[in-house]
């Protein structure tokens, strides 16, 4: 689904994302956004959390050097 709409730039450089767009994209207050800009357009995207930032939070594998070894370990775990 696509929505075409407009927003007005306020005096301090702020815009309001219309509620229909926020609902469509499931955006919530205080979410960080990424702005990609050229001289002729601005692209606004929600910032997604990097899943690699969570790597290792459940512990560290020992004696595992490759993904193949990790898969083998969990396929043969009983």
- The residue with tokens 């450089």 is 13
Closest Cα to residue 33, out of 17, 20, 46?
Answer: 46
**pTM greater than 0.85 (yes/no):** no
Q: How far apart are CA 20 and CA 62, in angstroms?
A: 49
Name the residue with higher pLDDT: 60 or 15.
Answer: 15
Bridge partners of residue 43, in order along the sequence: 36
d(CA 28, CA 47): 12
Query: Is residue 66 scored above 90 in pLDDT?
Result: no
So where are the chain's domains? Answer: 1-49
Question: What percent of the chain has pLDDT above 70?
Answer: 81
CATH of segment(s) 1-49:
2.10.260
Q: What is the mean pLDDT of the chain?
A: 84
Nearest to 45 by CA among 64, 26, 32: 32
């Amino acid at each position: 689904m696509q929505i075409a709409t407009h927003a007005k730039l306020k005096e301090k450089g702020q815009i309001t994302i219309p509620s229909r767009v926020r609902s469509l994209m499931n955006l919530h207050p205080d979410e960080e956004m990424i702005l990609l800009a050229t001289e002729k357009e601005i692209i606004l995207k929600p910032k997604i959390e990097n899943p690699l930032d969570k790597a290792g939070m459940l512990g560290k594998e020992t004696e595992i050097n490759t993904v193949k070894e990790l898969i083998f370990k969990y396929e043969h775990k009983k």
